[in-house]
Structure 1
Amino acid sequence: MNKRGLYLLGWIAALLCLSGQAGFSQVVVDSKTADFLRNFDQQKIKPAHIDTSYWSVSRELRFETALHSVSKNWYQSDNRSSLRLNMYSLINANYIREYTRWNNTLDLRLGFLWEDAGKLADDARNLSVNQNYLRLETVYGVKLVRRFDFEANAKLVTQIMPSYASNTAKESNKTFMAPGVLDIGLGASYNYSTKRLPTLYISFYPVNNNTTFVLNQRLADAGTSGVDPAVKDDQGNIIQHGKQYKMVWGVRTQFKIKYFILENQKFWASNDFSIFVDYAENPGAGQIDNKFILSYEITKNISLSYNMTLRYYDSDRVTRTDPTTGQSAQYYAGLEMMNDMTIGLKFNF
């Protein structure tokens, strides 16, 4: 074999050696990457874990027998005193972290009155609903300084079932979302609590939108809860239907307190007061709600309570008939009151 052939064989051998070294070369990685690559095929990809430790959920269900009375100008139903059965449901879902909190509430209350049909007029209903309340509320707060938060609040209050002026009335005077009152406010709040005083809460919303919905056209045409009524001609025919909402801007504040009168926490009192004042459309007009509760816990699940609800809405009206002329007219309802003395069975879960 000549020299040229030997040189060619040498180059071929050198190329084979270099290609073999390149084929079996390794990439140097750190230990964490090596562990990940080693276990990658043995592990399944799992969804991200959601930390729920900042959430707390409470549920309360109550059944009560109540001695019930309302003032003659109460906005929902007839003003008869009665013995009735109440059902309450309260659900809270709260999120609390270092500098933020988010509270959500569903509050549902129904009260039923059953009467012996044989003692009523032929066209009277023997089953009436005279406690009728639904509240959905969400509050988001960001801590400013100790006990003071910047706060955004949205609250919707309405009723669930139709209510009637009397048990012989054919048409309802209120129904679901007729009215429904939606408040959306921005402001600040103060929170304080101790063992004997678990709740002391004051909120102030200088910017608050208050919208009253009347989504039943018949009630909207009648101007229920202050919405613009229908426009009619001289014969009473509707030319233009009434508006189904009324929107105003104002300031809203709320004050809530709960205090254990006895150290064993079986006897307590609470009060929830809120007021909205219109400062744009009709300055000085507004809405006031106040609920006072005095309760004694007989056993873990049985309690005796007194509840007083006060209400003043400038949009509420009552119809009164002049006995001399027989003509009816609408007047401001003024201060309205509802009282309940109850004994109830409560379940928390």
Structure 2
Amino acid sequence: MADRPFILTGFTFTKQTLAAFSRNCEIVGHMDKPDPALVPPEVAPRVQALVTTGSVGASDRLMAALPRLSIICCYGTGYERIDIEAARRRNIIVTHGADANAPDVAEMAVGILLASTRRIVRADKMIRRGEWTKRIPNRFGAIAGLTGGKVGILGLGAIGMEVAKRLKGFDVQIGYCNRNKRADVDYAYFADVMALATWADYLIVCLRSDASNRHIVDAEVLKALGPRGHLVNISRGWAVDEAALADALRDNVIEGAALDVFDEEPYEGQAFLPLDNLVMTPHFGGGTEHAQARMTALVCQNLDAHFAGKPVVTPLPELRDLAARTEGRLR
């Protein structure tokens, strides 16, 4: 590449990641939020690429404020807050992290499922309060545990498959709900989320969230999961109706939940904070050293390919046709 493309960052990346982006590109600005007003006037006309995350996103207004923008790279799997139709209309390529962090997110899913079902966080706090001999109240008596239980996976893509692989050692039954039944697995298949929740003891949300599945886990699904049920969400926050979840936890509609993702991040709400049957982590699922290295490398590969006039490595499935049509045409 004779000229170094100008990129804008829409997320607070590590120094190592920024250094990797800077090898073949020039970082000309950063936004804390996807707000066109945060882009300095002298920077906006220069920006050719935006590197952000799906939970931060890119609006039509932001794209309009960047007249030379030709590619948006999502760092990570999700892209739920990218205005896909606006990108299509403006011939802007959009890429994502595809399966780069799947093993690490799956590891987190199993970890926080155990933290919720075995009450690990609450038990830790008890010891710190000097309450070793006290027992966590349980209206059902003893904790159920995973062994012999039924785990429902909502979305059996790359992350869902990695979750299932890790759960096999726990002697559980595995079921799943997907847009289509997979021919390569023998897990129980359920055509809709209500059927899966009714069957499952534990429900793990592994969807690649988009507008079609916003609040797919609602009050009715939580009710179907039942009073001994646990919900885990490591996909995207908006897949779960957070108000309904707070009510379900407070009213013992389900026994517990664990969230690594939230509808708005960082989470600044109040409804979840008093709930001791909820485990929360701040979107750490893909935060391992190995996952970050893979996601950083993939962004760099996509940027390098795009600005060399070659096909990007991981275009959004919805925009593959656009990626093919615009190959070799840069701004």
Higher RCO by CA contacts (8 Å cutoff, separation 6 or greater): 2
TM-score calculated relative to the size of structure 2: 0.24
The structure where helix makes up a greater share of residues is 2
Q: Which structure has greater strand proportion?
A: 1
Give the TM-score normalised by the residue count of structure 1.
Answer: 0.23
